[in-house]
Chains A and B, each alone.
Chain A
Amino acid sequence: MRMKFLSVFAAVALLAACETAPDSGANTGNVGNASVTTPAGPTPGSAEDFAVNVGDRVFFGFDQSTLTTEERTVLERQAFWLRQYQNVAVTIEGHADERGTREYNLALGERRASAARDYLVSLGINPGRISTISYGEERPIAVGSNEEAWAQNRVAISVVR
């Protein structure tokens, strides 16, 4: 799980790096060594800053909505960031993989988003700053009918509004 998260995290970081420095050929093609904190990084307090430097998503096991210690660490970083930037609100999007029925997955996505929201609230974040929405299996993050894609789609993503 940790490895998967890191690879996604790194990929997001790489994407961001490419966007901010399109001519920097050195940053392309080497995901493993992508520098997460480039000097010309995202603006602090921005959605990009949150996604790149904090980590915007937590992953779940199959048909699960419990948060592992690792995922709690991600949410603790999110809470720390949200305390720094009090004017920011987030929507937590809950998702499910395609290996369930549509209606049940809508409920499961809601349960995952709620699990992430509840943990942030327990860390002192005002519940008024957090909304949730479930997309069930309708808006997959990763395409492909394979375990790797499914793991990325069992997710709650905090989107800065």
Chain B
Amino acid sequence: MTDLTRSVKLGSEDVAEPLPVFAPVVAAERVRPEVSRRMFARLAGGGAVIGALAGLGAVGPAKAELRIDITQGRVDPLPVAIEDFKGAESETTKIGTEVSGIIRANLERSGLFKMIDQAAFVQTDIVFDGVPRFGDWRIINAQALVHGRVSTLGDGQYRIEYRLWDVFGEQYMAGTALTAIPESIRRAAHIISDMIYKRITGEDGYFDTRIVYIAESGPANRRRKQLAIMDQDGANHKFLTDGNTLVLTPRFSPTLQEITYLAYYNNRPRVYIFNLDTGQQEVLGDFPGMTFAPRFSPDGNKVIMSMARNGVTDIYTMDLRTRQVRRLTDTQAIDTSATFSPDAQRVVFNSDRGGSQQLYTMNADGSNVQRISFGDGRYATPVWSPRGDLIAFTRIFGGRFQIGVMRPDGSGERLLTEGFSVEGPSWSPNGRVLIYFKEQPTDRNGQGGGAKLHSIDVTGYNEREVVTPLDASDPAWSPLIR
């Protein structure tokens, strides 16, 4: 019953829930997530709510808290009722509908929640500061209920508040007020989605994030490839390059301010850094060969990449502050697609030093190399989960491509999806979802091909397309925006 006790206090514990500290993505943009002290003060002062909840706690049977255990395999989606957030004017009503729509779509897409049609709602007169009639929500089997409201603050800002209730436990679970300018209303909705997701699953969400990828168009033998960026739900889509130069494999810095990628400017394939704030692009270092396959270190201070020269590809790091270059591998093989472990102590990469492409790990200084993949076929593009517990990879076997995961020691290999071509997994920041690209075969006239982004839960369920305006490849998921 500790959770109920905690909920009764309403403010204090729930307030302690880590709220994203905002760092502007665009200078003009402003979201100031803040807990509404006033709201909780009013609730506490009102007495009725506290009394009601305390009473439930005192007399009600001990109930398990509403919780989705996502450490297990497949879970049945949790039925959730999310009411359109209310507003006093038509403008705020419209925003409320938009915000609740974004939240519903986020939660539904995770595969962990099922939205109950609003037409089925029995109670339609929820008072924001009151307690819902739980019986009305039990009838429609809503396990959780979310309602909210939007109000204007006068200075062009909006206050967006929500409440999350455990219907069968008859408990208040979470609630917060965010302040947003018009341009950041979507972000506020993503932040609320992350809060709801975390409160119910116990794990960080991944909705307030972005995806950078390569947009593809044009004929099969002369594909136009552009850097593109969008929110994880496809909104705010933007092309970052014009497509006149071939670009590949963009990856986020942990601060989200920069992207490292491969570009063929002046017909020289080299690693560049793209600054999202300024739009400036800068070549990284002065290497005698082709540099490619870049990724930032977890602290953002280094880029690990490959250099190919004289038929040999080795792995290097460059310190972005000192510009010092360090060589990590020294073989006659192709060593590439290197990424750091989240603690930056280890590196995983693929190499054909043993004959065919396999996965290896090594210390961050290049010592202690261990082969970790031993299955049939070729293994490539390993990426360490942000949780550290798994490495995702591409496997090529029997003329088919697969995406799988294994533990960092190579044990527990599981394949999640397969196809004619599926490649290049990238983790959501909470280590729950992988995004990758899936390509269809091309016919003799160059028709029918094309790549699209797809995501899948690490359990191997809930595979779905991530819709993009053009064809798409090489997705990279950002860390949580903070």
Residue B267 is within 8 A (CB to CB) of chain A in the complex: yes
| Chain B, 242-300, CB within 8 A of any chain A CB | 246, 248-249, 262, 267-269, 289-290, 292-293
Q: Is the CB of B311 within 8 A of A65?
A: yes
Residue B72 is within 8 A (CB to CB) of chain A in the complex: no
Residue B367 is within 8 A (CB to CB) of chain A in the complex: no
Residue of B nearest to A91 (CB): B267
Q: Is the CB of A98 within 8 A of B421?
A: yes
Partner of B381, one of A99, A103, A114, A118: A103
Assembled-state Cα–Cα distance A63/B446 (Å): 23
Which residues of chain B have C-beta atoms less than 8 A from A135's C-beta? Answer: 246
Q: Is the CB of B249 within 8 A of A108?
A: no
Which residues of chain A have C-beta atoms less than 8 A from B268's C-beta? Answer: 133
Assembled-state Cα–Cα distance A134/B424 (Å): 20
- The smallest C-beta distance from B236 to any residue of chain A, in angstroms, reads 26
Assembled-state Cα–Cα distance A145/B248 (Å): 21
Q: Is the CB of A138 within 8 A of B449?
A: no
**With contacts defined as CB atoms under 8 Å apart, how many contacts are there between chain A and chain B in the complex?**
110
Which residues of chain A have C-beta atoms less than 8 A from B399's C-beta? Answer: 99
A134-B308, A145-B420, A145-B449 given; A104·B380 CB < 8 A = yes
Which residues of chain A have C-beta atoms less than 8 A from B312's C-beta? Answer: 111
- The smallest C-beta distance from A119 to any residue of chain B, in angstroms, reads 11
Chain B interfacial residues counted at CB < 8 A: 51
Residue A124 is within 8 A (CB to CB) of chain B in the complex: no
Assembled-state Cα–Cα distance A99/B395 (Å): 11
Q: Is the CB of B220 within 8 A of A104?
A: no
Q: Is the CB of B293 within 8 A of A106?
A: yes
Q: Is the CB of A144 within 8 A of B443?
A: yes
* B interface residues (Cβ-Cβ under 8 A, vs A): 219-223, 225, 246, 248-249, 262, 267-269, 289-290, 292-293, 306, 308-313, 334, 336-337, 350, 352, 356-357, 378, 380-381, 394, 396, 399, 420-421, 423-424, 439, 441-446, 449, 473-474
* A interface residues (Cβ-Cβ under 8 A, vs B): 63, 65, 98-104, 106-108, 110-111, 114-115, 118, 133-135, 138-146, 149
